DNA sequence: CCTGATCCTGACCAATTGGTCAAACCTTGC
DNA sequence: GCAAGGTTTGACCAATTGGTCAGGATCAGG
């Protein structure tokens, strides 16, 4: 069944299991590097059974990506034009960092897609993402012109928040290896560091 | 021939052509997502001919990666313990940003490898990269303790330089799309922004 | 407990994959 | 200009790929 709305409890359970397994696999190997057999084995279902719930490998990927963009933009949507400028931007950074901690696979899925030139996400980037970014960049520009925070390129400011926070999900292996302790949690120190970085940048 | 040293001019030319094509393909699709046929077509050689110069697909990938780590660490090696602290760190950031501009495929190849858990690069990360990072983090720590620059977590400072500069290569499509003009060069503004960011962070 | 719908599987398929090989084709140095 | 080695290729192979299908197993409702 290729229906978007699961009809039975079995459908609900298995679709979740498939998407979860597919997220594991796609986020690590990208679309072309992933196979239905890997997803089947990871989900515990048979390959023909995957294709009973989704019409194709591409359909599974699209389903993951289409759900992703919404989640991805949530922290930015919450940036409040009426809040305290510096506090709002720092809170946004913290929400993005929290997403990297709790949803690292989603971050990697996104990174993989962009690395490949965003073949299946171009529309969402040109649409939702660009529109929201334009809107919030304008808000930030307003704050700067009003002298509430220091001047800086608003788009590159947003890029830097994306880059710095997602780095801790996408380059997790590198971060942990360089820090030496594979088990230790790098996020507390990262948060402190990033708070200082942006606090100094934005202080007039 | 799988020899590392090309013996004839034809060998030299074709090995370069193959590695160049492989860099194109691997940097976009990762190891598993790339095929010998793609590399063959991109390089203009036949598939059996590829395998005359390299023993396997994996050997081409390894050759690219082993050359990469050295290039990758060059800018950090040049960080001079005897130079002016703030100027040295800013210059390091500029060198890294310049590498993202001139070697975006290498940056993406690296990103792809790390995203997949660094299966073929773990040794280099635990070795060369960690050692050099430890060494330079100690230098930076020394500068901070001497009051030459403001205190900040030295490792996360380096992570932030890596993350911010590589972002402009790895997420190029997104950056250009959000900025609106696909043709425009985002790097000048990026450099100005990053100079401000790190200048403010490091000023005591 | 029966029947219709849902769910699942083994067997299968054509295309693509990484890789081999013998034979033919070039270069190069004498 | 001719051998000897270097280069290239078409034909081929076994394994893997995404996907199909007929039929059997299981479930839900009456």
pLDDT value of residue A1: 45
What separation in angstroms does the CA of B132 have from each of A139, B10, B64, B99, B137? Answer: 41, 37, 21, 18, 8
> Is residue A2 predicted with pLDDT exceeding 60?
no
Q: pTM for the whole thing?
A: 0.94
> Is residue B2 predicted with pLDDT exceeding 70?
no
State the complex-level ipTM: 0.93
> Is residue B4 predicted with pLDDT exceeding 70?
no
B25-CA/C8-C1' distance, Å:
39
Are B153 and A189 in contact (CB < 8 Å)? Answer: yes
Percent of chain A residues past pLDDT 70, beyond the cut: 97
pLDDT value of residue B9: 79
Please state the length of chain B: 204
A-chain residues within 8 Å CB-CB of B169?
none
A-chain residues within 8 Å CB-CB of B108?
115
Protein contacts on strand D: list nucleotides below 7 Å from a Cβ: 6-11, 16-22, 27-28
Are B31 and A31 in contact (CB < 8 Å)? Answer: no
Give residue-wise pLDDT tens across range A150-193: 999 999 999 999 999 999 999 999 999 999 999 999 999 999 99
pLDDT value of residue B3: 46
Give residue-wise pLDDT tens across range A72-99: 999 999 999 999 999 999 999 999 999 9
B8-CA/D3-C1' distance, Å:
19
Within 26-45 of A, beta carbons closer than 8 Å to B belong to 27-34
Half-sphere exposure of B91 (CA within 13 A, CB side): 14
Mean pLDDT of B12-28: 97
A-chain residues within 8 Å CB-CB of B189?
153, 156
Give residue-wise pLDDT tens across range B137-156: 999 999 999 999 999 999 99
Q: What is the mean pLDDT of chain B?
A: 96
Mean pLDDT of B164-188: 97
Give residue-wise pLDDT tens across range B28-50: 999 999 999 999 999 999 999 99
pLDDT value of residue B63: 96
Report the alpha-carbon distance of residue A103 to residue A114 in Å, rounded. Answer: 17
> Is residue A16 predicted with pLDDT exceeding 70?
yes
On whether the CB atoms of residues A25 and B28 are closer than 8 A, the answer is no
Assess B153–A contact: CB distance below 8 Å, yes or no.
Answer: yes
> Is residue A3 predicted with pLDDT exceeding 70?
no
Q: Hey, what domains does chain B have and what are their CATH numbers? A: 1-55 (1.10.10.60), 65-202 (1.10.357.10)
Q: Which of B168, B142, B167 is nearest to B89 (CA)?
A: B142
B8 touches strand D (CB under 7 A): yes
pLDDT value of residue A4: 57
Report the alpha-carbon distance of residue A91 to residue A76 in Å, rounded. Answer: 10
A-chain residues within 8 Å CB-CB of B174?
114, 118, 125, 129
In this prediction, residue B177 has a pLDDT band, given cuts at 50, 70 and 90, of very high
pLDDT value of residue B82: 98
On whether the CB atoms of residues B23 and B106 are closer than 8 A, the answer is yes
pLDDT value of residue A86: 98
Are A29 and B32 in contact (CB < 8 Å)? Answer: yes
Give residue-wise pLDDT tens across range A22-53: 999 999 999 999 999 999 999 999 999 999 99
B18-CA/D4-C1' distance, Å:
27
A36 touches strand D (CB under 7 A): yes
Q: Measured between alpha carbons, how far apart are the two ends of chain B, in Å?
A: 57
């Amino acid at each position: 069944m290729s229906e978007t709305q699961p009809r039975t409890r079995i459908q609900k359970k298995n679709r979740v299991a498939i998407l979860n397994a597919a997220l594991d696999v796609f986020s690590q190997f990208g679309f072309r590097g992933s196979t239905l057999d890997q997803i089947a084995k990871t989900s515990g279902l048979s390959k023909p059974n995957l294709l009973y719930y989704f019409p194709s490998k591409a359909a599974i990927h699209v389903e993951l990506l289409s759900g992703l963009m919404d989640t991805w933009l949530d922290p930015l949507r919450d940036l409040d034009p009426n809040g305290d400028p510096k506090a709002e931007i720092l809170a946004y950074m913290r929400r993005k960092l929290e997403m990297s901690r709790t949803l690292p696979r989603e971050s990697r899925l996104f990174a993989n897609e962009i690395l490949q030139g965003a073949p299946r996400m171009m529309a969402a980037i040109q649409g939702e993402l660009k529109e929201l970014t334009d809107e919030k960049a304008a808000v930030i520009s307003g704050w700067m012109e009003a002298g509430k925070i220091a001047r800086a390129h608003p788009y590159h400011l947003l890029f830097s928040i994306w880059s710095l926070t997602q780095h801790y999900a996408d380059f997790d292996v590198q971060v942990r290896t360089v820090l030496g302790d594979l088990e230790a949690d790098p996020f507390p120190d990262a948060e402190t560091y990033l708070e200082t970085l942006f606090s100094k940048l934005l202080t007039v």
